[in-house]
Chain A
Amino acid sequence: MSSPREAVANGAAGAAVLAAGLGCFALGLLAVAGDGSKAVARLLTFYRPTGPLSGVSTIAILLWLAAWIAGNRLWRGKTVAIGKVSGVAFVLLALGLLLTFPPFEDLLLGK
């Protein structure tokens, strides 16, 4: 039976939030990598009809889930500085959003 303190331990929430931020950042990073290099785009083409998007999304989802599982094992039942964790996750999300925005991507790749 869990103690009252454990019942409100926010570590699992922190892990979920941070993993989501990481997943979004990975998505943006992979999108830029695929757009910037034909070799990377070929590597990311897991399913030819969908093209590099298949690899970008699959890898980002796998990284997100792996980070979530690992974070959950590490922080489950613990109390973390949720404000700081969500702040980091939000910065990662913002970077991910920015990286998927084509004009920013083009700027980054010097197109």
Chain B
Amino acid sequence: MQMTWREIVTAIHGMLFGGFFLMACFGVLVLLHRSFGARGNSEVTDQGRRRERIFLIVMVMLGWAAVLSGAYIVYPWYRAAVPPGVTNLELYPQRLLMSDPHTAGWHTLGMEWKEHVAWMAPMLMTMVAWVMMKYEDAGEEHRRLRAMVSGFALAAFLAGGVAAEFGAWINKKAPVTGGPVITLSQDGK
């Protein structure tokens, strides 16, 4: 069982950072939804608040890790220029997709949308997390603000979802691959 270095990094970008970020976004939506029916945040213990803060900070870090690793590590592999004379496009996913009219849309629609919309998710969730932490003691105002930011959290979840969904499909159609081969386990074991 083997994977290339680029496949491992792509998996870390998409499945670890991106996937866990999206799950955490969903968790925030649940938290916000629950608070609609609660009065302030008084029923949460100090330890609960501390855990909530850690959860929010980790979520924000995962979001930024996903977009930064995507834009500065994986995306350059995806959009690498094909050297003259090279006809095998396996290591050039963007060129591979664009070489066939049946797959070009995965780049012209999918990647072109994903590469930009993805940045909105951590930007919005940073704001949502900050508001949730800043106003956790503000009683009724806290409830109103949580209701307000829930719309932005939903938008962030959808933006992140678009990016993740297209990322997964694009990597299925034209996988980012190459680099040193890493053996995870010997065949048959």
| A residues adjacent to B (C-beta < 8 A) | 7-8, 10, 12-13, 16-17, 19-20, 23-24, 27-28, 31, 35, 47, 49-51, 53-54, 56-57, 60-61, 64, 68, 82-83, 86, 89-90, 93, 96-97, 100-103, 105
- Asked if residues B120 and A97 are in contact (CB atoms below 8 Å), the reply is yes
- Asked if residues A27 and B120 are in contact (CB atoms below 8 Å), the reply is yes
- Asked if residues B144 and A101 are in contact (CB atoms below 8 Å), the reply is no
- Asked if residues A24 and B124 are in contact (CB atoms below 8 Å), the reply is yes
- Asked if residues A90 and B151 are in contact (CB atoms below 8 Å), the reply is yes
Residues of B within 8 A of A10 (CB): 135, 141, 144-145
Contact residues, B58-114 vs A (CB, 8 A):
67, 71-72, 75-76, 79-80, 108-109, 112-113
Can you name 16 A-B residue pairings with CB atoms under 8 Å? Answer: A7-B137, A8-B139, A10-B141, A13-B135, A17-B149, A20-B126, A24-B123, A27-B116, A27-B119, A35-B112, A49-B72, A51-B79, A86-B152, A97-B155, A102-B109, A103-B109
A53, B118: Cα distance in complex, Å: 11
B interface residue count range (under 10 / 10 to 19 / 20 to 34 / 35 or more): 35 or more
- Asked if residues B108 and A102 are in contact (CB atoms below 8 Å), the reply is yes
Residues of B within 8 A of A90 (CB): 151-152
- Asked if residues B109 and A53 are in contact (CB atoms below 8 Å), the reply is no
Contact residues, B18-33 vs A (CB, 8 A):
none
Answer yes or no: B15 CB below 8 A from chain A CBs.
no
Decide if the interface of chain A is mainly helix, strand, loop or mixed.
helix
A29, B53: Cα distance in complex, Å: 33
- Asked if residues A96 and B120 are in contact (CB atoms below 8 Å), the reply is yes
Besides the contacts A50-B71, A54-B72, A93-B152, what 14 more A-B pairs have beta carbons closer than 8 Å? A13-B135, A16-B127, A20-B124, A20-B152, A23-B120, A24-B123, A27-B116, A51-B79, A56-B116, A57-B71, A83-B148, A100-B117, A100-B120, A102-B108
Q: Given A13-B145, A31-B116, A93-B152, are A53 and B75 also a contact pair (CB < 8 Å)?
A: yes
Rounded to whole Å, the gap between the CB of B134 and the closest CB of chain A is: 6
Answer yes or no: B159 CB below 8 A from chain A CBs.
yes
